[in-house]
Amino acid sequence: MFDLIPFRRRNEEPFGQMLKSFHDMVDTSFFSSFGTGMQPFRTDIREENGKYLVEAELPGIAKEDIDIQVEGNELVIRAKRNELVEQKDDDNRIIRQERRAGEFVRRFYVDHIDEENIKARLENGVLKLDIPKRPGDEHPRKRIQID
């Protein structure tokens, strides 16, 4: 008797079905390798001993292609990939040539950090950041009771 789908969703449904059909059409193994370079990189963030520890997976990316900045209250990590794969036959003719290029950008909210003492290193495709907090900027936590 009653349809519990909100009016707005019901009107958007044909468009959503069209997008799903398009996605299903182009989401084949042929196209899947092109999309892998554009997905955001995985990142772990931990807080311990007055600092943040950030680990970002950036396999195959050289440190020269990584840019780390603090912009206001944001930590910004940019990484560029320009990859060319060539396969040649015995006569040195190119049989197949593929290119993959893209830029990854991740932004994280950071507050009360010591920008001058941030340390970064790249080890085995993992970017590791050691971000110390400024001393004295930590606010005590207060638990709020629910009435």
Q: What is the pLDDT of residue 22?
A: 60
- 105 closest CA partner among 40, 16, 48: 40
34 is a domain residue: no
47 is a domain residue: yes
How many domains would you assign to the chain? 1
CATH of the domain at 59: 2.60.40.790
Q: What is the pLDDT of residue 30?
A: 43
Question: What does each C-alpha distance from 77 to 36, 53, 60, 70 come to in angstroms?
Answer: 18, 14, 16, 9
Q: What is the pLDDT of residue 12?
A: 54
24 is a domain residue: no
Q: What is the pLDDT of residue 28?
A: 45
- 59 closest CA partner among 2, 123, 10, 143: 123
State the residue range of the domain holding 102. 40-132
Task: List pLDDT tens digits, range 74-102.
Answer: 999 999 887 767 777 777 777 776 777 78
9 is a domain residue: no
- The SS3 assignment for 28 reads coil
pTM beyond 0.75, yes or no: no
- 120 closest CA partner among 69, 60, 44: 69
Burial category of 135 from C-beta neighbours within 10 Å (exposed 0-12, middle 13-18, buried 19 and up)? exposed
Q: Find the Cα–Cα–Cα–Cα dihedral 111, 112, 116, 121, rounded to 10°.
A: -50
114 is a domain residue: yes
Q: What is the pLDDT of residue 135?
A: 80
20 is a domain residue: no
97 is a domain residue: yes
Q: State how far the Cα of 81 lies from the Cα of 22, in Å rounded to an integer.
A: 27
Residue ranges in the chain whose pLDDT is less than 70: 1-39, 84, 97, 137-140
111 is a domain residue: yes
Residue recorded with tokens 């790249």: 122
Residue recorded with tokens 């007055």: 50
Beta partners for residue 41, in sequence order: none
